[in-house]
Chain A
Amino acid sequence: MSLRGAGYIVGAWEHPTRKASDKSVTLLHAECAKGALDDAGLTKDDVDGYYCAGDAPGLGPMSMIDYMGLKVRHMDSTDVGGSSYQVAVGHALQAIQTGRCNVALITLAGRPRSEGQATGTAPRAGNPSQAEMQFEYPYGPATANMYAMCAMRHMHEYGTTSEQLAWIKVAASHHAQHNPHAMLRDVVTVEDVVNSPMVASPLHRLDCCVISDGGGALIVTRPEIARTLKRPRVKVIGVGEAPKNQNGGDVDLVYSAARWSGPPAWEMAGITPADIKYASIYDSFTITVLMQLEDLGFCAKGEGGKFVSDGNLISGVGKLPFNTDGGGLCSNHPANRGGITKIIEAVRQLRGEAHPAVQVANCDLAIAHGTGGSLGTRHVGSTVILERE
């Protein structure tokens, strides 16, 4: 049975903070939960399903359900990094359709900025019993240089340029200037990006996302309940999730998992990329956006550089307005996980509640795609397609 329309996103809330030096991660989660419930017009006692991922401290749902005083009959803590929240939406639809819950709460929060994490440039030593750790950590795989290796290979195979990648940051900055909460609100040029210091070749400082504290939450519920609420109705019409890995050494770094998470979502939704009015695309780095746009079918493989150039992603200017809140590149990348803010901005667009300067006219179909993990080793792509009813 198709999951198309099995659930609606009726609450979506992004924490306004970008530096939470006076709050715990658990408090941020709870404040996000309250914000999303207030947005939906529901209360804590309406929640009977809870979803969180690896950013939740302790034993995930067990700790958070206790802290927030929730009474639920269903929980899920699938952790696939920054795309966990797209995955959670899909899993919530399954739970709603099979009667496991009626009102699902999804939360994300973290404070890497307050904790002083050099998120992108310092390799993190994990548990040595993690099978790949002893064969990768000695080589210094940080976040930035793993994505950079994808960019380097994409440039080699398709002639993609740093200037083309820079257009992605330029578009995000045009949107961020209207977001009072965005960390980087100055409009930048292609020259600004390519002249910013090299972090991990070929990625410059302005090819990278921000490091921010914060969080967000979503409420997903069944159609009968959505119809009783006062907010504009945002129907989930397509979901897909897929892993991509190193295949035992058969590594191909010019594709992302969107190549496999996209098709089932498009098929379920019954639409094509040409129908999409607004796109939230995971933007840990500029190259992440470019590869996902290709893999989701917005342009042919290898044509991403041309597709993103000349303002094509700028709302009111180009054909595919993207990340109109400024995205991870300029606004917010809470807990180093940008999946939930992608969905939240898509909901704002579909409700007509984005900033007027970036609101897409007649926005009735949107996509919110996430990539969690590392594009250069192993990651999970997850696609959510939404319709304004």
Chain B
Amino acid sequence: MAYVQRKIPFVGTPDTNPETRPFFDAAAEGKLVLPQCVQTKKFIWYPRGISPFTLGPIEWKEVSGKGKIYTYSVMERANPPYCIAYVELAEGPKMMTNIVDVDFKDVKIGMDVKLKFIKAEGDGPAMPFFTPA
């Protein structure tokens, strides 16, 4: 079945939580930038301005955008249907996302995926999505 891209909603603006502005600025340039805990070197999802591992400082670092599908679900009740997923990034964290540009029958746990940015509706920010690698 031909893939139909749903409109991507967004609430607030990238300035609502000023601490996460680096994520949106990088996304606008097609880069996935995540906070990394300065002390433990672990990458963090979802983005935030403090480390949940230490309550210490974070640094914003670009990641590869490569990952594998940890789990997913196709929301058949939506029109058009969409595939929500957690993708395990090569750098460690699992992030919520959608698997896009794919026949949903082909989506499998463990599948290699790569990054694709899509802008949210209403002139919203670009957000990271994934598609089969």
On A, residues with C-beta under 8 Å from B are 121, 123, 125-129, 131-142, 144-146, 148-153, 156, 197-203, 246-251, 253, 377
Which chain A residue has the least Cβ–Cβ distance from B121? A138
Chain B stretch 27-80: residues in CB contact (< 8 A) with chain A: 37, 42-48, 51-53, 70-78
Q: Give the docked Cα–Cα distance between A152 and B123 (Å).
A: 34
B16 touches A145 (CB 8 A): no
Which of B75, B85, B95, B120 has the largest number of chain A CB atoms within 10 A? B75
Contact A200:B98 (CB < 8 A) given known A128-B11, A137-B11? no
Bound complex: CA of A144 vs CA of B75, how far in Å? 8
Distance (whole angstroms) from the CB of A336 to the closest CB of chain B: 17
B-side contacts of A248, CB under 8 Å: 37, 42, 44-45, 51-53, 93
Decide: A140 and B75 in contact? CB cutoff 8 A.
yes
Which of A137, A153, A248, A250 has the most B CB atoms < 10 Å from its CB? A248
Q: How far is the CA of A135 from the CA of B8 in the complex (A)?
A: 12
Chain B residues with Cβ below 8 Å from A133 are 11-12
Q: Which of A148, A199, A251 counts the most B-chain CB atoms under 10 A from its CB?
A: A251
State A146–B10 Cα separation when bound (angstroms): 18
Chain A interface helix/strand/loop/mixed: mixed
Find out whether the CB atom of B73 lies under 8 angstroms from the CB atom of A134: no
Complexed CA–CA distance, A149 and B71 (Å) = 6
Complex A-B: 6 CB contacts under 8 Å:
A123-B9, A128-B11, A135-B47, A140-B78, A248-B51, A249-B43
- Given A125-B9, A128-B12, A133-B11, A253 contacting B73 (CB threshold 8 A): no
B120, A201: Cβ atoms closer than 8 Å: no
Cα-based distance from A150 to B85 in the complex (angstroms)? 10
* Contact present for A135 and B71 (CB under 8 Å): no
Q: Which residues of the partner chain B approach A135 to less than 8 Å between Cβ atoms?
A: 45-47, 95-96
User: Does the CB pair B86–A140 fall under 8 Å?
Assistant: no
Within 8 Å CB of A247, what residues of B? 52
* Chain B interface, >50% SS class: loop
| Beta-carbon contact of A246 and B84 below 8 Å | no
CB neighbours (8 Å) of B17 from chain A are 128-129, 131, 134
Q: Provide the residues of chain A in CB contact with B16, threshold 8 Å.
A: 128-129, 134
Interface string of B71-112 (1 = CB under 8 A from A): 111111110001011100000111111100000000001000
Residues on the B chain within 8 Å of A377, using CB = 96
| B45, closest chain A residue (CB) | A249
Smallest CB-CB A-B distances: 8 pairs: A249-B93, A128-B12, A148-B73, A249-B45, A135-B46, A153-B71, A248-B52, A128-B11
Flag if B10 contacts A199 (CB, 8 Å). no
At the interface, yes or no: B127 with Cβ under 8 Å from chain A? yes
B86 to chain A, nearest CB (A): 6
Q: Are A126 and B11 in contact (CB under 8 A)?
A: yes
Is B82 in contact with A201, judged by CB distance below 8 angstroms?
A: no
CA distance A200 to B77 in the complex (A): 7
B20 proximal to A (CB < 8 A): yes
- Chain B minimum-CB-distance residue to A204: B76
Asked if B10 contacts A137 (CB within 8 A), the reply is yes
CB distance from A116 to the nearest CB of B (A): 15
A139 contacts B84, C-beta separation under 8 Å: yes
Residue numbers in A under 8 Å from B43 (CB-CB): 249
Contact B93 A138 (CB under 8 A): no
B48 contacts which chain A residues (CB < 8 A)?
131
Q: Which of B48, B70, B97 has the most CB of A within 10 A?
A: B70
The distance from the CB of B129 to the nearest CB of chain A, in whole angstroms, is 8
- Whether the pair A152, B71 counts as a contact (CB closer than 8 A) is yes
Contact A139:B96 (CB < 8 A) given known A126-B11, A153-B71, A199-B76: yes
